[in-house]
């Protein structure tokens, strides 16, 4: 019933809808409507109630799971979608849900905002309203090096999707950051649990600055970031972005399981921000500076540093020219 009330509020979000109109169209009492509205507010939905006028939903970035699911028939990623107006972190919430019940593979958790969004290596991911913050569950039966490649596979997929909305080409910064016009627009965080050759589960978290305004981010981060709103010059419907992204993620995942990394690697290379450029990265305590000549079959970054070819399997890249 709450989903139905939400749907009505979303459809009429430019105006107020009265309690009696809602009650009539959904076949329940006005008191029941009021109780559901209070429960929705408790969950974090921003709903204004004005006596004599009714209710209005103020959250434009809201995701409607039913509509997205009905447009994704027979697809693994997104077969179940849950939207929460506020969470600590979608990765954390999905992880907790695995303990509480047995969510099917492909389950997606989306948040309107995250209070403790996570980046890689213990870093923080700023997640104000206006972004698309979501995670999904996979149970791949792959050896660890193949599972690790998924972070590159999903970066390729994400760039392809975002290019449909950005109006300006997005590129990948190894291993899986998405940049547009020289600034970060999206990031990916993979978290695995299980044994080396037998992942119990994999949680893939994706953060996309859809309608985020840079002054809603801390200044130091805002200066190096952008959003679909900023690069395209227009507000974008987060539901459309999520639908497109989930379709592409599913099709790249299937392609990877079926045919491996070869073709996706070529696409990664063609969409990579720094191939052929001078970069700086680290291996252990060492700083490695040199030309990024290749991304190999295992997803390693290959750097020509003086006379040595150095293979980097994990870390961050700084582009020097
Ligand atoms: C990432 O980490 O880029 C992975 C981000 C994954 C976020 C998603 S949101 C849904 C899911 N639930 C979670 O809790 N997390 C995932 P990393 O490469 O470590 O980049 C982190 C760095 O990016 C930070 O140290 C900042 O410098 C910068 N940053 C933080 N918030 C940002 C934002 N909204 N936009 C652009 N850059 C940001």
DSSP 43-100: HT--EEEETTTEEEE--TT---HHHHHHTSTT-STTSSEEEEEEES-HHHHHHHHHHH
* Tokens (6 digits) for 135: 């995670």
CA–centroid distance, 88 to ligand 1, in Å, is 14
- 90 pLDDT more than 90: yes
For a mutational test of ligand 1's pocket, the pick from 119, 136, 246, i.e. the residue with the most ligand atoms closer than 8 A to its C-beta, is: 119
Query: Is pLDDT of 249 > 90?
Result: yes
- Centre of ligand 1 to C-alpha 178, Å, is 11
Q: Tokens 């190096």 appear where?
A: 224
Distance 27 CA to ligand 1 centre (A): 44
Band the pLDDT of 304: cuts 50, 70, 90. Answer: very high
> Assign residue 302 a region: left if phi > 0, alpha if psi is -120 to 50, beta otherwise?
beta
Residue 196 is predicted with a pLDDT of: 65
Residues within 6 Å of ligand 1 by CB: 89-91, 114, 117-121, 123, 125-127, 133-135, 177, 184, 187-189, 205-207, 209, 217, 221, 225
Q: What is the dihedral of CA 50, 113, 184, 256, to 10 degrees?
A: -120
- Which of 228, 235, 148, 244 is closest to 188 using CA atoms? 148
Separation between Cα atoms, residue 126 and residue 216, nearest integer Å: 9
Q: How far apart are CA 54 and CA 301, in angstroms?
A: 57
Are β-strands 183-195 and 301-305 bridged in parallel, bridged antiparallel, or unpaired? unpaired
Hey, whose CA ends up nearest to atom 33 of ligand 1?
Answer: 126
Is pTM beyond 0.75? Reply is: yes
Give the pLDDT confidence of 176-199 residue by residue, as tens digits. 999 999 999 999 999 998 766 677
- What's the pLDDT score for residue 29? 93
Q: Which pair of structure tokens corresponds to residue 275?
A: 């191939």
Helix (H) or strand (E) holding 144: helix 144-166
pLDDT of residue 177: 96
Calculate the average pLDDT of the chain.
Answer: 93
CA-wise closest residue to 205 among 124, 108, 84:
108
- Average pLDDT rounded to a whole number, residues 73-93: 95
Residue 316 has pLDDT above 80, yes or no: yes
Average pLDDT over residues 260-280: 97
Confidence of residue 60 (pLDDT cuts 50, 70, 90): low
Q: How far is the CA of 186 from the centre of ligand 1 (A)?
A: 7
Ligand 1: nearest atom to the Cα of 117: 14
End-to-end CA distance of the chain: 56
% of the chain surpassing 90 pLDDT: 81
Distance 207 CA to ligand 1 centre (A): 7
Report which ligand 1 atom has the smallest distance to the Cα of 89: 14
Measure 205 CA to ligand 1 centroid, in angstroms: 10
CA 130–ligand 1 middle distance (angstroms) = 15
Mean pLDDT on 294-306: 96
Residue 110 and residue 86: Cα distance in Å, rounded? 9
């Amino acid at each position: 019933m709450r989903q139905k009330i939400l749907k009505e509020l979303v459809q009429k979000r430019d105006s107020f809808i009265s309690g009696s109109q809602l009650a009539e169209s959904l076949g329940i009492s006005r008191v029941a409507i009021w109780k559901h509205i209070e429960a929705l507010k408790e969950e974090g939905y921003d709903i204004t109630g004005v006596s004599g006028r009714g209710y209005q939903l103020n959250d434009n970035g809201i995701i409607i799971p039913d509509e997205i699911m009905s447009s994704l028939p027979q697809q693994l990623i997104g077969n179940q979608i849950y939207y929460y107006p506020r969470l600590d972190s979608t990765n954390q919430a999905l992880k907790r849900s695995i303990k509480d019940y047995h969510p099917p593979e492909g389950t997606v958790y989306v948040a309107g905002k995250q209070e403790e969004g996570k980046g890689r290596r213990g870093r923080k991911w700023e997640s104000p309203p206006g972004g698309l913050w979501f995670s999904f569950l996979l149970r791949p039966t792959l050896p660890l090096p193949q599972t690790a490649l998924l972070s590159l596979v999903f970066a390729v997929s994400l760039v392809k999707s975002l290019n449909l909305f950005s109006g300006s080409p997005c590129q990948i910064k190894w291993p899986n950051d998405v940049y547009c016009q020289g600034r970060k627009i999206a990031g990916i965080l993979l978290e695995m649990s299980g044994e080396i050759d037998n992942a119990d589960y994999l949680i893939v978290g994706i953060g996309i600055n859809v309608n985020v305004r840079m002054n809603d981010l801390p200044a130091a981060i805002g200066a190096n970031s952008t959003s679909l709103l900023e690069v395209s010059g227009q507000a974008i419907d987060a539901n459309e972005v999520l639908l497109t992204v989930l379709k592409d993620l599913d099709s790249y995942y299937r392609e990877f399981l079926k045919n491996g990394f070869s073709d996706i690697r070529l696409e990664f290379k063609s969409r990579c921000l720094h191939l052929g450029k001078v970069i700086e990265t680290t291996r252990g305590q060492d700083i490695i500076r040199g030309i990024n000549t290749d991304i190999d079959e295992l997803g390693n970054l290959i750097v020509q540093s003086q006379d040595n070819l150095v293979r980097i399997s994990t870390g961050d890249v700084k582009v020097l020219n």
